[in-house]
A and B are shown apart, each in its own frame.
Chain A
Amino acid sequence: MSVLVYVEHAEGTFKKSTFEVVSYAKAIAQQLNTNLVALAIGNLAADQLSSLGTYGAQKVLHVNDAQLGTFNAQAYTSILSDVAQKEGVTVVVLANSFSGKGLAPRLAVRLKAGLASGVVALPTLQGASLTVKRTAYSGKAFAHVKLSGANHILALNANSYPIHEQPVSAEVISLTSTAKASDFKVTVKEIVRASNKISLPEADLVVSAGRGMKGPENWHLIEDLAQSFGAATACSKPVSDAGWRPHEEHVGQTGIAVSPNLYIAVGISGAIQHLAGVSSSKTIVVINKDPEAPFFKVADYGIVGDAMEIVPQLTAAMKAYTQNG
């Protein structure tokens, strides 16, 4: 019996969410009084792999070959399920990321394992079964899900579990890929990354804006504000529907759900669909010219005023704070 954590990386570098996932998996391994095994697939340097010991992984398994450099749901499922069976794994933990959403369900079917995705807290273990809290109704509620069966898979939301360092010396072992030739039906042609942008689902700080900005020509104010905070930019649904901003910035019930430490909403009235996507943010700041905007009811801090005037002032105040910092 052991706990297996699948560790995601972006072109050879682990992300913050990976350390969250490893810390979370370590806590479960401790609950079960067992070891934590990490599995990484693709091109990674030895020092990256051994760095997982910092968060308590005793064993780090690494699988790589020419075909495994990019994500492949079927091949990665084959490798993960073989490792899980060989290591006698009962709990698999991974990130509820875009790739995680492609991988975890396939793995659940392959291992005939109960899967809870979007989990936000440690599970409670009762004999062979496990109960865990996950988001439901697009952030408007949580569900406590009981997983039965012999194997369980938990997909953790970003920014839901703190990184916890507890160094052990990690043994790094290279394994041969057990993926089958028939797994490679999808080929990656190109990966496009916006290099200067902070990834929205994983961001600690988010600056989001709505129709109160009056038009896309005023978005430089939001970008300046986001830059002063080191924040990712986001928007409301009417803004992405109008084409002022791309769909991937749309936060809310039919867009992305975020749970940053700080969410600053500028010129967003706070429709219930938008609030659903941001309700698990730790601190919410609302800037709106309408004192009756529903968003103020769920905010921690508010400023009533015209975004065009308040935003540049806040940017300046934040720059001053950083410089004196």
Chain B
Amino acid sequence: MKILVCISNVPDTTTKITFNSDNTEFNTSGVQFILNPYDEVALSKAIDLCEGGKGTITVINVGEASTEPTIRKALAIGADEAVRIDATPSDAYFVAYQIAAYAKDKNFDMILTGRESIDYNSAQVAAMLGEFLDLPSISIIKKLDLNGNKATLSREIEGGKEIVEVEGPFVASCAEGVAEWKIPNMRGIMSARTKPLEVLAAQSLETLSVVEKFETPTPRGAVKMVDAANVSQLVDLLHNEAKVI
């Protein structure tokens, strides 16, 4: 079994998000970058599926050379080899196109992504890959069981879940719960340095979307405190002042 896991390099979850003076670029100074948490859970699932020599895992990232520590982290966790498409990941369409161009003649049995990256939050790459490669895609899964070539997945829906079946190859985007997060051990960290990391040039592509500027949420006014001895006042405020009930 051959599994491709798509990973991205994102600001750490504790990052306070700021932009340059004209709000056109994310301010990366002092920011720690990490393996996108959802991609990490997708990789953890791939490791579970390949346990005991049942398969090999390739991780792929579309990014500049600065993402290599994150790629090495994925190798330390347990991927067998890595590919970096050398480009700025301008939007999901660009990223999915590059990954599809790489994957199309590699016969992967399964392509996994995280449900979304925690910076762009588009949740688009998995389904776009499915379309580019003419493969079925299942977005936002919480469970994946394999029985031979047949997979049973649990996909999130509003107020519940949908259980689906599909035969490989397929693409799926993984959410929390699909696997336990794996922590790299010392052997993994040591071997990550020598595992293959191939760097490939990007294909040129017309851009369809571009971020013109960023904006941070408007700060709220000062908090109004309600006395713990007078809780019912809160209900009055929610009704008469905030008008939300």
Chain A residues close to B by CB (< 8 Å): 10, 15, 70-71, 73-74, 77, 97-99, 101-106, 108-110, 112-118, 131, 133, 135-149, 185-194, 197-202, 205, 229, 240, 247-248, 250, 253-255, 257, 261-262, 271-273, 279-280, 282-286, 296-305, 309-310, 313-314, 317-318, 320-321
Contact = CB atoms under 8 A, between A and B. Distances in A.
Q: Which 3 A-B pairs have the closest CB atoms?
A: A305-B228, A193-B160, A105-B127
A275 to B, nearest CB: 10
B19 to A, nearest CB: 8
A194 B159 contact: yes
B181 to A, nearest CB: 10
A194 B161 CA distance: 9
Interface in B198-241: 206-217, 219-221, 223-228, 231-232, 234-235, 237-239
Given A10-B158, A254-B37, A304-B228, A272 B14 contact: yes
Contacts of A133: 215
Given A73-B136, A296-B223, A300-B242, A317 B37 contact: no
Chain A at the B interface: mostly helix, strand, loop or mixed? mixed
Contacts of B102: none
B121 interface: yes
A140 to B, nearest CB: 4
Interface of B: 11, 13-17, 19, 26, 37-38, 92-93, 96, 118-128, 130-132, 136-140, 142, 152, 155-167, 170, 175-177, 206-217, 219-221, 223-228, 231-232, 234-235, 237-239, 242, 244-245
Chain B at the A interface: mostly helix, strand, loop or mixed? mixed
A118 B24 CA distance: 19
Given A145-B211, A189-B164, A136 B220 contact: no
Given A133-B215, A199-B158, A247-B142, 12 more contacts: A73-B137, A101-B124, A106-B137, A108-B208, A115-B122, A137-B26, A146-B210, A192-B160, A248-B142, A272-B13, A303-B225, A321-B235
Contact of A318 (B130, B170, B225, B235): B235
